[in-house]
């Protein structure tokens, strides 16, 4: 079944650009797309064009006043004071021309992925430009104007009456999505992230379990700074299986931020490509067991756009398609981008061993993470 999976892409998705110096750089989506094409891993008939989301769709999560403010900001018509109240015009989320339209493409791309899976046209779908997870109902936050992750979940609830499991492996806590569904027992959120002690947005503790009827449907596994592959994967794999078995979702949507990589400039974790080859493999198995295979994946964070994001996101697509590239990276791709890249491009799909010095506190970090994992899954044990 060739079109088991679809890849949502068009150059319209690259217009989400705050500035030339902002760390969020959608060139990474193009880099991943081209790497897949150059590697022979993405065929024409697997590519699906996105649409723009409508205002009504965006307002399933965001307040109308906020959407109006984003529109005005993008036309240069919003007063600075008012903009700041909406989280617009900050260092993290600066105003740029046509920001409403650019953000609507991102949301529409993720909704396109959702429709493909929920209408049964394909089992899996990938929306790499999406996966924004920090934006709130009435406020931009953390590079996120419209929270396509939350909108996609609400859309699946309303249009397809689905129980949705959201799984977030970005190094930052998926706060916007968690709060949007905090009191909702039909949406379960699981976020594995670097502890918020020193990292934005500061939330995501094991004690954030949900509220009201949604109590017990929000899971957080905050791992220590310098966490490496084995421990990160242990936390991810165990929590995902246990949470899926507890919640029994109709569909899984994963946020595949890749900013936990050792090379990432914004975070303090120490995972490598090994983690990014395993994360999608396990998600796919879990979707197969509990959801008839239904799995939508998005991108998210990832700020080493040269050495990490293209390989990690390409690999995610390959796993969806039962491919496992290894060894040399496509020569054409390396040739095309070497002179523009900020760092020497890794020549192979795998990271070389020893990209960082051994972490002296490894054992301590591993056992601390294991204790955190036990505590965050405790409510499941108690209820079963």
Sheet holding 47-48, edge to edge: 47-48, 5-8, 124-127, 295-298, 251-255, 164-168, 187-194, 218-223
In the complex, which residue's CB is closest to Zn ion? 301
How close are the terminal C-alpha atoms of the chain, in Å? 38
Strand, coil or helix: 329: coil
CA dihedral defined by 295, 312, 204, 147, rounded to 10 degrees? Answer: -60
Residue owning tokens 């089992």: 123
Nearer to Zn ion, 53 or 192 (CB): 192
Site for Zn ion in 120-179 (CB under 5 A): 170-172
Site for Zn ion in 19-58 (CB under 5 A): none
Nearer to Zn ion, 262 or 290 (CB): 262
Judge residue 58's burial from the number of C-beta atoms within 10 Å of its C-beta, 0-12 exposed, 13-18 middle, 19 or more buried: buried
Minimum Å gap between C-beta 310 and Zn ion is 17
Q: Which of 127, 120, 94 is nearest to 18 (CA)?
A: 94
CB atoms within 10 A of CB 54: 13
Binding pattern for the stretch 168-187 against Zn ion, x by CB under 5 A and - elsewhere = --xxx---------------
| Helices 99-118/148-160 angle, 10° precision | 40
Segment holding 48, helix H or strand E: strand 47-48
Nearer to Zn ion, 39 or 191 (CB): 191
Q: Tokens for 240?
A: 């995902």
Minimum Å gap between C-beta 366 and Zn ion is 22
Site for Zn ion in 238-267 (CB under 5 A): 257, 259
Site for Zn ion in 293-352 (CB under 5 A): 301
Minimum Å gap between C-beta 96 and Zn ion is 20
Minimum Å gap between C-beta 269 and Zn ion is 10
Nearer to Zn ion, 136 or 247 (CB): 136
Binding pattern for the stretch 74-113 against Zn ion, x by CB under 5 A and - elsewhere = ----------------------------------------
Nearer to Zn ion, 72 or 169 (CB): 169
Nearer to Zn ion, 94 or 216 (CB): 94
Nearer to Zn ion, 6 or 273 (CB): 273
Q: Tokens for 216?
A: 């017990």
Strand, coil or helix: 8: strand
Minimum Å gap between C-beta 363 and Zn ion is 27
CB atoms within 10 A of CB 111: 26
Count of residues of this chain found to bind Zn ion when the rule CB under 5 A is applied: 6
Minimum Å gap between C-beta 266 and Zn ion is 7
Minimum Å gap between C-beta 260 and Zn ion is 8
| List of residues contacting Zn ion (CB under 5 A) | 170-172, 257, 259, 301
């Amino acid at each position: 079944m060739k079109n088991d999976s679809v890849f949502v892409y068009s150059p319209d998705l690259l217009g989400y650009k705050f500035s030339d110096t902002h760390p969020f750089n959608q060139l990474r989506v193009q880099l991943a797309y081209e790497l897949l094409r150059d590697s022979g891993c993405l065929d024409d008939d697997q590519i699906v064009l996105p649409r723009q989301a409508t205002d009504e769709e965006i307002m399933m999560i965001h307040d109308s006043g906020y959407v109006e403010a984003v529109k005005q900001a993008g036309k240069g018509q919003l007063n600075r004071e008012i903009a700041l109240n909406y989280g617009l015009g900050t260092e993290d989320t600066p105003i740029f021309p046509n920001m409403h339209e650019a953000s609507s493409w991102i949301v529409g791309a993720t909704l396109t992925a959702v429709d493909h899976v929920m209408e049964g046209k394909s089992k899996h779908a990938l929306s790499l430009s999406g996966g924004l997870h920090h934006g709130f109902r009435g406020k931009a936050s953390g590079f996120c104007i419209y929270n396509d992750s939350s909108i996609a979940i609400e859309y699946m609830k309303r249009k397809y009456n689905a129980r949705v499991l959201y799984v977030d492996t970005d190094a930052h806590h998926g706060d916007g999505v968690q709060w949007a569904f905090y009191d909702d027992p039909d949406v379960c959120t699981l976020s594995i992230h670097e502890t918020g002690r020193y990292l934005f947005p500061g939330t995501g503790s094991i004690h954030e379990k949900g509220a009201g009827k949604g109590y017990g449907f929000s899971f957080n596994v905050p791992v220590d700074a310098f966490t490496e592959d084995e421990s990160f994967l242990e936390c991810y794999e165990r929590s995902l299986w246990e949470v899926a078995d507890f919640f029994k979702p109709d569909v899984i949507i994963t946020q595949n931020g890749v900013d936990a990589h050792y090379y990432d400039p914004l975070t303090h974790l120490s995972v490598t490509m090994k983690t990014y080859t395993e994360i999608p493999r396990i998600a796919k198995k879990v979707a197969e067991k509990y959801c008839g295979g239904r799995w939508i994946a998005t991108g998210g964070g990832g700020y080493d756009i040269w050495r990490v994001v293209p390989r990690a996101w390409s690999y995610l697509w390959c796993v969806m398609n039962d491919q496992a590239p290894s060894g040399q990276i496509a020569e054409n791709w390396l040739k095309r981008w070497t002179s523009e890249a900020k760092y020497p491009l890794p020549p192979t799909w795998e990271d070389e061993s020893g990209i960082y010095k051994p972490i002296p506190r490894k054992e301590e970090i591993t056992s601390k993470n294991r204790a955190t994992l036990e505590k965050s899954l405790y409510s499941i044990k108690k209820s079963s």
